[in-house]
Amino acid sequence: MEVILQPTPEAAAELLARLVAHDLRANPRLVLGLATGRTMESVYDRLTRMHLEDGLSFADARTFNLDEYVGLPASDPHSYRHYMQERLFRHVNVDLRNTHLPRGDAADLDVECQRYEELITQCGGIDVQLLGIGQTGHIGFNEPLSALRSRTRVKALSPVTVAQNASLFADPSKMPRRAITMGVGTILDARRVLLLATGAGKAEIIAKAIEGPITSMISATALQMHARCTVIVDEAAAAKLQGTDYYRWIFANEPEWEPYRS
């Protein structure tokens, strides 16, 4: 795992967008794992700008989102399909037939989870997976005690996550209490993982996720076992990390980060 500190949330989002753009230019048929949430909004703004101003093309990309609320059809304005449509898909040249999210309104949720796993496999697996981190330390909606080898399945949302996201619903009491989510094992299978966390509210859970012991109570700790995981944090989210001198040294000195040190 590498930890990259950036001075501001904007700089952190910019770095993540540049890393995605780099990988997409290198492989136009990239299989890109996407996340939703507040943190990702400015990343999608930047990818949109790169598409409009720098010709970044999504024409041949395939995308798989981490999760979707159970019970919400794609047309629901609170669905993650709707979020993706509004935040990214309708602004870029992605082929919607190549964009995938679990169907939260599927008649048989177990069959839907299996279908989703098989589709990822058919596409050759995820090349780059974007992640945020929730207050519980979840990645996707892998709430406390998610098995570290779990696959796509239905997961009950914790009260902490409900509190985190309910305000995004016009009627907070209507927020679904369950979601379909890629499992921790599904996420660990991605060839590259990029996690973004910004703001003081993430400082405590980021310190636990990066420097704490691996535990299924905090699914993000499983990323310590991933061979190619980069965590990008702003100064506020990095405030409780112990090893920042080392992390800063790596970004300032390792050749792979040279193009991103502007």
Interface with ligand F6R (CB under 6 A): 35-39, 66-67, 132-134, 138-141
Residue nearest ligand F6R, CB atom distance: 132
Minimal distance, residue 134 CB to ligand F6R, in Å: 3
By C-beta, is 27 or 85 nearer to ligand F6R?
85
Closest to 36 measured CA to CA, from 186, 146, 196: 196
Ramachandran region of residue 124, left (φ > 0), alpha (ψ -120 to 50) or beta?
A: left
Under 8 Å CB-to-CB from 105, ≥6 apart: which residues? 71, 72, 73, 74
Judge whether 30 and 61 are in contact, CB under 8 Å: yes
Residue type for position 189: D
Sheet holding 229-234, edge to edge: 2-6, 229-234, 192-197, 128-131, 31-34, 62-65, 99-100
Minimal distance, residue 103 CB to ligand F6R, in Å: 15
By C-beta, is 132 or 176 nearer to ligand F6R?
132
By C-beta, is 25 or 240 nearer to ligand F6R?
240
Minimal distance, residue 229 CB to ligand F6R, in Å: 15
By C-beta, is 67 or 189 nearer to ligand F6R?
67
- Which residue do the tokens 């939703």 mark? 36
By C-beta, is 134 or 183 nearer to ligand F6R?
134
Q: Residue 166 burial (CB < 10 Å; 0-12/13-18/19+)?
A: middle
By C-beta, is 127 or 164 nearer to ligand F6R?
164
Minimal distance, residue 183 CB to ligand F6R, in Å: 12
Minimal distance, residue 204 CB to ligand F6R, in Å: 13
The CA-CA-CA angle for residues 165, 167, 199, to 5°, reads 60
Minimal distance, residue 154 CB to ligand F6R, in Å: 14
By C-beta, is 167 or 173 nearer to ligand F6R?
167
Minimal distance, residue 165 CB to ligand F6R, in Å: 7
Ramachandran region of residue 68, left (φ > 0), alpha (ψ -120 to 50) or beta?
A: beta
Structure tokens at 145: 């005690």
